[in-house]
A = this chain, B = another copy of it.
Amino acid sequence: MSVGKKKGEVPRRAFVNSVLVTAGAATAAGALAGYGLAEPAAGTEPAKEIVPFYGKHQAGIATRQQRNATFLAADLASRDVATLRRLLDELTLTAAALTRGDPPPERDSGVKGTSSLTDFGTGLPPARLTVTVGLGPAVFAIPELAARRPRHLTPLPIFDGDALNPWWCGGDVLIQICADDPQIVSHAVRSLRARMPGLATLRWTQYGFLSTPPDGGTPRNMFGHKDGTANPKPGTPAFDDIVWARSPEEPEWFAGGTYLVFRKIRMKTAEWDLTPLDEQDRVIGRRRSDGAPLGASAEFDPADLTARAPDGKLVIPADAHIRRASGMPMLRRGYTYDYGIVGGESHEHGEGTGEHGHGDGHKNHSRLDAGLLFCCYVRDPEKQFVETQRMLAEKDRLNDFIEHTGSAIVAVPPGAREGQSLAEGLLRGLG
């Protein structure tokens, strides 16, 4: 499977919207309009790094992945142009301010003297905060927007084996909030939510983290496997080709946008830990010890999908995950999550107790919720995600150990110019 590069297409300018400024110069950062350095200068305090909100593309996509993320889904209070416009205005102003380290603009809540939490911020520098906003398929059910619908924005199908929880699915708006600090993420979520009353209602949130070895090694996932993917490199033609929407394939307003596919994938860690190591390796097709493909000697060796053992069996089994998933061109930007067994909302009672028992180890095992907040950015979700996911759903040894419990797809508008709101082009000329 590949995303075709049209003949004669001119490689576009390398573009990475990460730039480094000092905290003191924070308020001027927006003016840099998204052109700058891909990596921080040595010796700069990472917490003070700023990723400009305004630019050709939205931030949080080509941005070097931050350590913490929350995905927030919300539904429009009313599916009409005016509500959507007001919501996008609020989200834009709030995100632009927070990402440069400023408090969000005041909003009249209608309650005398009300002053939102964000007035005084967190006392923390913005830690590369990005806010990335996408619009779900239902938004384009608004009559005036039907003709402007991004061409590939279709609700995801139900795949074999999906165990979706409707509480963790869909949404008219999906916002990815990332930073190198969890309180910055929490505060941004809170500030964005504070703009929603009357315009949108919160649907679900999911929180994850990503810890990268300081030596630059590949992070391990919740199954202990190195989960480093051959992501395209920002600023290269391959990246542009895989990620960014273009016209005339897409409506003019959507050029420079992309699609975000979100899947909450629960990983059955207890079952995994009771599976012998050599079987684990066959499930993935790589050795857990060093990440090498089976039959190869090092992590970055190519996987030989045709190699057979002396007994004639395929070294990398026919249903191994890396065989079934191979060749999927996408920008992956997922986060590990581990909620432990924080649940229990449905078991409230009137009186507390310090000691009486609810302990049932097996029940609690099944209440563990940990895994992957899969997140990918692609130019064509049908070709780049759905086709591969159908193959995986049909046959993948890993399916015994995972389940997809949440799902969403949104069209991510291009970046905004300073003074404009996100998706300005979508709403241009409408009431």
Q: Which residues from chain A sit less than 8 Å from chain B, CB to CB?
A: 45, 47-48, 67-68, 70, 72, 74-75, 77, 109, 111-125, 136-138, 155-156, 158, 162-170, 181-184, 186, 189-190, 194, 197, 201-207, 209-211, 213-214, 217-220, 222-224, 226, 269, 272-280, 288-289, 336, 338-349, 351-361, 364-365, 367-370, 404, 407-409
New A-B pairs, 4, CB < 8 Å, besides A74-B359, A163-B352, A169-B352: A112-B276, A113-B276, A115-B280, A119-B289
User: Complex formed: what's the CA distance from A136 to B267 in Å?
Assistant: 31
Contacts of A278 in B (CB 8 A): 113
In the complex, chain B residues whose CB is within 8 Å of the CB of A115: 276-277, 280
Shortest Cβ gap from A264 to chain B (Å): 10
The complex is assembled from copies of this chain, and their number is 2
Most chain B Cβ neighbours within 10 Å, of A122, A222, A345: A345
**Residues of B contacting A117 in the complex (Cβ-Cβ under 8 angstroms):** 223-224, 269, 272-273
Task: Decide: A276 and B203 in contact? CB cutoff 8 A.
Answer: no
In the bound assembly, the distance between CA atoms of A109 and B209 in angstroms comes to: 30
* In the complex, chain B residues whose CB is within 8 Å of the CB of A120: 220, 224, 288-289
User: Chain B residues near A360 (CB, 8 Å)?
Assistant: 201
Given contacts A137-B355, A338-B207, A340-B189, contact A347 B183 (CB under 8 A): no
Q: Which residues of B contact A289 (CB under 8 A)?
A: 119-120
| Cross-chain contact B205 with A354 (CB below 8 angstroms) | no
**Could you list some 8 contacts between A and B, CB below 8 A?**
A75-B357, A115-B280, A123-B213, A155-B354, A158-B353, A170-B355, A204-B344, A354-B407
Q: Which residues of B contact A218 (CB under 8 A)?
A: 123
